[in-house]
Amino acid sequence: MSASKNVKVNVEYLTRVEGHGNIVVNVKDGKMEECRLDIVEAPRFFEGMLRGRSIFEAQHITSRICGICACGHSLASILAAEDALGFTPSAQTVKLRKLLLHQEMLDSHILHIYLLVAPDLLGVKSFVPLIDTHNTVVRRALRMKKNCNDVCDILVGRHIHPISSIVGGFTKLPQPKDLDAMLEILKGLQPDMEATIELLGALKFPEFSRPTEYVALVNNTNEYPLMEGELGSTDGLKLNKKDYRKLTNEFVVDHSSAKHAKASRESYMVGALARLNLNYDKLHPKAKKAAEFLKIKPVCTNPFLNTVAQAVECVHCLEDSIAILEDFKENGVKQEEVIIVGLNEKGTIPVKAGKGVGAVEVPRGILFHNYEIDDTGKIINANCIIPTGQNCNNIERDMQKLVPEILDKTEEEITLMMEMLVRAYDPCISCSAHFLNVKYVNR
């Protein structure tokens, strides 16, 4: 029957994703003629706008690329700026940044699992109907999200567009009472996290498999790498972060304002599933336990299970946050490290001309910021490469494999499956729409 089937799917403004994207599928007489994901977000020209701004403004500006990944962009920007300036942050600063990144991971994953994915698995259109049918679940989700936000409020002033985390360190540092408050919130989050893992264990995810290359940061230590290390993949790729362009290898396609990427094979995947596939052994023991309970182990080739990998990472980030805070409680926070920089009016940080790359594992995968500055600290060139942009190509290839496998379903069911597939990647389209390349004049 499916051999002569016609299917037309055209989802305009896909909902429950960050940013604007369309799904187009066209099957004629059982033959797939078109199958693609269009990125239709209005371009914002960030890289262009950064030119002429001070390197000390870059994190404030690029944080505004995305409301969900604000802390991630901010951190990648800071690392790139410090790399360009030749500045080495203190051990305390690095630890606080890791704590901040954990909150971002938790917050974003929780939003994705509960508000964006769960409605599909429970057969409703959004979390709103769940307020009546699954009130405790909705309350838990909102409470968990609020908890991460409250920790960010204490740590950096707020979660969306963090205030005190800057090039050089922090403009405000947590006091002993702040450490207690954050610890209390995060320990209070533990039972909700257990309930989340249980909930996910009860949900049924679509079965599908398409092996691809999984890319994430890798390192030689025992730490689950999120901010340090080099680029690695399941196909054996190893690159210094400075050579990220060899990985991302972008090419332009007409239908999308986000460039596509490929590395060792026709496409690759970044994000929670890629990280789990590459760095499973380094997860916190409790996170591994959650993974065993959820029956996910490396190498997992079902992109729908990216959501499950996110839940495993949530446990890791929560437990590691608690460990970091307990360590600070024991050893104290050196308040004398507070740094007020502004636009470096007082020359607090020595400035020289240079280039720098920041690579950070943000909720949706590896994020690159790359700046070139002159000897006054003005930005000459800027480039940001966003996880969703790297995943676009892989998403389309998944769609192209999935459609023929589900042709016997109704057009409505096919549409929903395609939406669920795209959502599983947790695409952040407002990010990817302006990550297009900048040509470096000197290269």
Partner 1 sequence: MSKPRVAFFDFTCCEGCQLQVANFGETLLDILNLIEVVTFREAMSEKSEDYDVAIIEGSITTEHDVERIKHIRSRAKVLVAYGSCATIGGINGMKNKFPLDEIGKYVYQDKAKHFPTLPTRAVHQVVKVDYFVNGCPVYQPEFVKVLKCILAGIPYAVPDYAVCVECKLNENVCMYDKGITCLGPVTKAGCNSWCINNGNICYGCRGMVTNPAKNGQMDILKKFNIALDWIINKLDMYNKPRELDERK
Which residues, numbered 358-417, are part of the site for partner 1 (CB under 8 A)? Answer: none
Give the DSSP per-residue string, 141-199. HHHHHHHHHHHHHHHHS-SSS-SSEETTEESS---HHHHHHHHHHHHHHHHHHHHHHHH
Nearer to partner 1, 165 or 279 (CB): 165
CB of 177 to partner 1, least distance (A): 16
Q: Is 271 left (phi over 0), alpha (psi -120 to 50) or beta?
A: left
Token pair of 378 as six digits: 């003005």
Nearer to partner 1, 131 or 323 (CB): 131
Give the three-class secondary structure for 422: helix
CB of 347 to partner 1, least distance (A): 10
Nearer to partner 1, 236 or 347 (CB): 347
Applying the rule CB under 8 A, the residues between 98 and 117 that interact with partner 1 are 111, 115-116
CB of 257 to partner 1, least distance (A): 6
Pick the binder of partner 1 from 2, 6, 10, 13 (CB under 8 A).
13
Distance (Å) of CA 134 to CA 114, 126, 140, 152, 370: 11, 12, 10, 28, 44
Nearer to partner 1, 45 or 240 (CB): 45
Q: Output the furthest CA–CA distance in the chain (Å, rounded).
A: 74
- Which stretch in 204-212, 304-312, 360-368, 434-442 sits in contact with partner 1 by CB under 8 A? 434-442
Pick the binder of partner 1 from 98, 145, 275, 284 (CB under 8 A).
145
Residue 411 has φ and ψ, to the nearest 5°, of: -60, -35
Token pair of 317 as six digits: 């980030």
CB of 321 to partner 1, least distance (A): 18
CB of 80 to partner 1, least distance (A): 18
CB of 285 to partner 1, least distance (A): 30
| Residue 252 binds partner 1, judged by CB under 8 A | yes
Distance (Å) of CA 170 to CA 326, 384, 395, 410: 19, 23, 38, 54
Token pair of 274 as six digits: 């890629």
Nearer to partner 1, 46 or 208 (CB): 46
Tell me how many residues contact partner 1 (CB under 8 A).
71
CB of 231 to partner 1, least distance (A): 24
The angle subtended at Cα 186 by Cα 182 and Cα 191, nearest 5°, is 155
Applying the rule CB under 8 A, the residues between 42 and 101 that interact with partner 1 are 42-49, 51-53, 57, 60-61, 64-68, 70
- Which stretch in 127-135, 194-202, 299-307, 369-377 sits in contact with partner 1 by CB under 8 A? 127-135
Applying the rule CB under 8 A, the residues between 286 and 345 that interact with partner 1 are 338, 340-343, 345
Distance in Å from the first CA to the final CA of the chain: 55
CB of 369 to partner 1, least distance (A): 15
The angle subtended at Cα 309 by Cα 24 and Cα 143, nearest 5°, is 95
CB of 167 to partner 1, least distance (A): 12
Cα(328)–Cα(173) distance, integer angstroms: 11
Token pair of 375 as six digits: 């000897």
Applying the rule CB under 8 A, the residues between 153 and 212 that interact with partner 1 are 156-161, 163-164, 166, 170-172
